Amino acid sequence: MYDGGKIIVGIIIGLVLLTFPIWYTHGMAPKRPEVKLPEKEKQCVQSKEYMKTKHMQLLDLWRDSVVRVAQRSYVAPNGTKYDMSLQNTCMSAECHAKKTEFCDRCHDYTGVVPYCWDCHIPPKEEPKEKPEEMH
């Protein structure tokens, strides 16, 4: 092999550079996000596991059902009927009243930017720290 030493050194340097993000950030993984569940309402329209993995499909189905076929009432597996509405059911004052403590936590962590909120109005949230009153 001609220039064997150079090639091997090159490969090693290459591997080090390629794996740099892995070993450099080792053990520095950000904490898994914790979503804040609603205080009052304990029952969601579907199970926790279903909502964790499939809430986007459910919302997609809801929007088509409401907008295109005018069927606005969702029958949950336990028989309860819900008004299919992201803005008025999911994000109502009784349920996920704070978008920043629920939706945003995971979406920010995973870098997902859903465009729901370009149009739909998120619930009003009180600012956490009230700005000091001016004297």
Partner 1 sequence: MGVNRRKFLKIAGISTLGAAAVPAANALAMNPIEWLDKQLGGFTPSEILLHMGHKPTGLKSREALTAKRWAMVVNVRQLDEEIAEACREICHKIHNVPHIKNPKHEIKWIWAEHYEHALPGQYHEHIDENLKKLPFLVMCNHCFNAPCCRVCPTKATFKRKDGIVLMDMHRCIGCRFCMAACPFGARSFNWIVPWPRAEDGKFEGKEPPSPEFPTRSKGVVEKCNFCAERLAKGQIPACVEAAQELCKKKGREPALVFGDLEDPDSEVRQVLRSHYAIRRKPELGSKPNVYYIV
Please report, as residue ranges, which positions from 14 to 33 form the binding site for partner 1 (by CB under 8 A): none
Enter the tokens of residue 35: 């979503």
Enter the tokens of residue 102: 């629920």
Query: Is residue 80 near partner 1 by the rule CB under 8 A?
Result: no
Query: Is residue 83 near partner 1 by the rule CB under 8 A?
Result: yes
Query: Is residue 89 near partner 1 by the rule CB under 8 A?
Result: no
Among 43, 47, 73, 80, binds partner 1 (CB under 8 A): 73
DSSP conformational letter for 87: I
Q: Distances from the Cα of 48 to the Cαs of 37, 51, 53, in angstroms?
A: 11, 5, 9
Enter the tokens of residue 27: 């053990």
Q: Letter for the amino acid at 15?
A: L
Which is closer to partner 1, CB of 27 or CB of 131?
131
Which residues of the chain form contacts with partner 1 (CB under 8 A)? 57-58, 60-75, 81, 83-84, 87-88, 99, 115, 117-124
